[in-house]
């Protein structure tokens, strides 16, 4: 079981990387008009979620890696279980990429901010740069 204090907890449950309590995103993943909106700072510890201007540009690389892993998984799964025609492969890969886009985008941001912010069990609300 993944417990608070582990980076995987913050990444998978999309919690503040510093306190693992505040929500990283303001809306649910499939509220398509605002699925990527994040509060400016954590409601629990005050950690800023945008560490510098254009901070999440780097998350594109993480998102790319996640998409490649997803598409490879879909391809291998179809190949092993069914071995369908090329059109089915293309439809399944594009369909899974589009359907899971909000999840992979949010996950990539969550992974990316966890590269730079460490968990502190003794957090308290204060100004953090």
Among residues 125, 115, 129, which one has the least CA distance to residue 11? 115
CA distances from 126 to 3, 38, 44, 92, 110 (A): 24, 19, 10, 47, 22
One residue of 11, 14, 18, 107 binding Zn ion per CB under 5 A: 18
Stretch that binds Zn ion, among 28-36, 40-48, 58-66, 110-118 (CB under 5 A): 40-48
One residue of 10, 11, 22, 110 binding Zn ion per CB under 5 A: 22
**85 Cα distance to chain centroid:** 32
Using an 8 Å Cβ cutoff, are 14 and 27 in contact? no
CB of 23 to Zn ion, least distance (A): 9
One residue of 44, 48, 97, 120 binding Zn ion per CB under 5 A: 44
Positions in the binding site for Zn ion (CB under 5 A)? 16, 18-19, 22, 42, 44-45, 47
């Amino acid at each position: 079981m993944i417990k608070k204090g582990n980076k995987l907890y913050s990444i998978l449950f999309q919690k503040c990387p510093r306190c693992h309590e505040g929500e990283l995103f303001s809306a649910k993943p499939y509220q398509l008009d605002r699925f990527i909106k994040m509060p400016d700072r954590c409601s629990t510890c005050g950690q800023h979620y945008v560490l510098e201007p254009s901070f999440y540009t780097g998350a594109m690389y993480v998102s790319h890696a996640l998409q490649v892993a997803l598409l490879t998984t879909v391809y291998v799964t179809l190949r092993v279980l069914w071995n369908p025609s090329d059109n089915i492969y293309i439809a399944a890969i594009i369909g899974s990429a589009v359907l899971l886009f909000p999840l992979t985008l949010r996950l990539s941001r969550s992974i990316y901010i966890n590269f730079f912010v460490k968990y502190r069990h003794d957090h308290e609300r204060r100004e953090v740069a």
